[in-house]
């Protein structure tokens, strides 16, 4: 039976959403699913990991995994892989996940596929779909068996779903020591940016803005509309680079991938680098003064007009209908 491992990343003491997405996919591939979770509070997350498909959870509670950069985690996982030789290790495409995967690739001299969007197993052959050239082309990449395969998967590639037949997982404490060599790069500070409303990646409605808003102050119009709809505000890379909004708002190839029920693109032209991060939305609404803007090719509903006039009018009408 194929042995699939998932690195369950902790964020603020909780399992990252992308790790639950990977566990959901892993249990569709095989019945032999193991989660590896490292850091303070790791044992407390075992039940959650079991609900999403982990039959076995390997835990190691050591503050070093938060105090230092990815070296302690990479060393621990590398040792585990050398001992047990799983067929596949899935890692979420996060800053920490990319760092760990690159170190494992070098330490174990094994293949790694990055930026995966879909994956399947046919016997021992692994096939991963990877977007290339700003997602204008989808390429099937394969890795044969024989060694542990590493695959980085983009967030939102799969839905995170609780296993209705889940049972309590087998929890094992990892016997490991974090070496002094791995304690070189110290995490000096973690800064959490305060936000209101739902998280961008989890919101059912996302209202995003681009250059068509003309100036940073006009993002207030989007915040007002998002508040009325119970959604979150996003942005194109152009306005993030211009300093209008923080990077945490960015949707696209170098930002976040979102799959809301409704995605509103307000004053966004529709460059492929942006649309790759939002084209999975159930419904896309585009507002732009240019009738030939590329964004309209993706839109279920297109409005040709000035976003500074359309958005306030839309917000007032929604409020009126909500009573």
Instruction: Please tell me the distance from the alpha carbon of residue 27 to that of residue 53, in angstroms, as a whole number.
Output: 6
Between CA 142 and CA 150, with CA 144 as vertex, the angle to 5 degrees is 75
Alpha carbon 217 to chain centroid, angstroms = 29
Packing angle, helices 219-229 and 307-322, rounded to 10: 20
Residue 153 DSSP symbol = E
Domain range 205-322, CATH class: alpha beta
Instruction: Check for a shared fold between 3-173 and 205-322.
Output: yes
Between CA 72 and CA 82, with CA 76 as vertex, the angle to 5 degrees is 145
Tens-binned pLDDT, residue by residue, of the chain (323 aa): 689 999 999 988 899 999 999 999 999 999 999 999 999 999 999 999 999 999 999 999 999 999 999 999 999 999 999 999 999 999 999 999 999 999 999 999 888 999 898 898 877 788 998 887 766 678 889 877 678 999 999 888 899 999 999 999 999 999 988 999 999 999 998 877 666 678 888 899 999 999 999 999 999 999 999 999 999 999 999 999 999 999 999 999 888 889 999 999 999 999 988 998 898 899 999 999 999 999 999 999 999 999 999 999 999 999 999 88
To which CATH superfamily is domain 3-173 assigned?
HUPs (3.40.50.620)
Packing angle, helices 71-84 and 95-108, rounded to 10: 50
Q: How many CB atoms within 10 Å of residue 180? A: 7
Helix H or strand E encompassing 232 = strand 232-235
Query: Would you state the structure tokens that stand for residue 310, as one six-digit string?
Result: 């359309």
Long-range contacts of 124-132 (CB under 8 A, 24+ apart): 124/2, 124/87, 126/88, 126/151, 131/276
- Domain chopping of the chain, boundaries: 3-173, 205-322
């Amino acid at each position: 039976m194929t042995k699939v491992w998932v690195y369950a990343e902790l964020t603020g003491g909780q399992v990252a959403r992308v790790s639950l997405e990977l566990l959901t996919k892993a249990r569709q591939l095989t019945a032999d699913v193991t989660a590896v979770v490292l850091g303070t509070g790791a044992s407390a997350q075992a039940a959650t990991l079991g609900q999403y498909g982990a039959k076995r959870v390997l835990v190691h509670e050591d503050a070093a995994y938060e105090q230092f950069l990815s070296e302690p985690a990479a060393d621990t996982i590398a040792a585990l892989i050398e001992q047990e030789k799983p067929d596949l290790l899935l890692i979420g495409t996060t800053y920490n996940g990319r760092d760990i995967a690159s170190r494992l690739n070098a330490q174990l001299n094994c293949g790694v596929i990055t930026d995966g969007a879909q994956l399947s197993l046919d016997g021992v052959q692994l096939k991963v779909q990877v977007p290339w050239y700003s997602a204008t082309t989808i390429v099937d990449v394969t890795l044969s068996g024989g060694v542990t395969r590493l695959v980085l998967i983009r967030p939102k590639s799969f839905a995170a779903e609780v296993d209705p037949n889940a049972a309590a997982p087998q929890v094992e404490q990892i016997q490991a020591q974090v070496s002094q060599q791995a304690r070189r790069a110290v995490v000096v500070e973690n800064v959490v940016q305060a936000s209101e409303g739902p998280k961008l990646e989890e919101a059912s409605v996302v209202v995003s803005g681009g250059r068509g808003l003309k100036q940073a102050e006009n993002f207030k119009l989007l915040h007002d509309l998002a508040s009325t709809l119970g959604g979150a505000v996003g942005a194109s890379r152009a306005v993030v680079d211009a300093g209008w909004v923080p990077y945490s708002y960015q949707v696209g190839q170098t930002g976040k991938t979102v799959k809301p029920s409704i995605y509103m693109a307000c004053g966004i032209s529709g460059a492929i680098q942006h649309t790759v991060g939002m084209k999975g939305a159930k419904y896309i609404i585009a507002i732009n003064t240019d009738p030939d803007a590329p964004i309209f090719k993706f839109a279920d509903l297109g409005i040709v007009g000035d976003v500074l006039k359309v958005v306030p009018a839309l917000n007032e009408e929604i409020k009126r209908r909500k009573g």
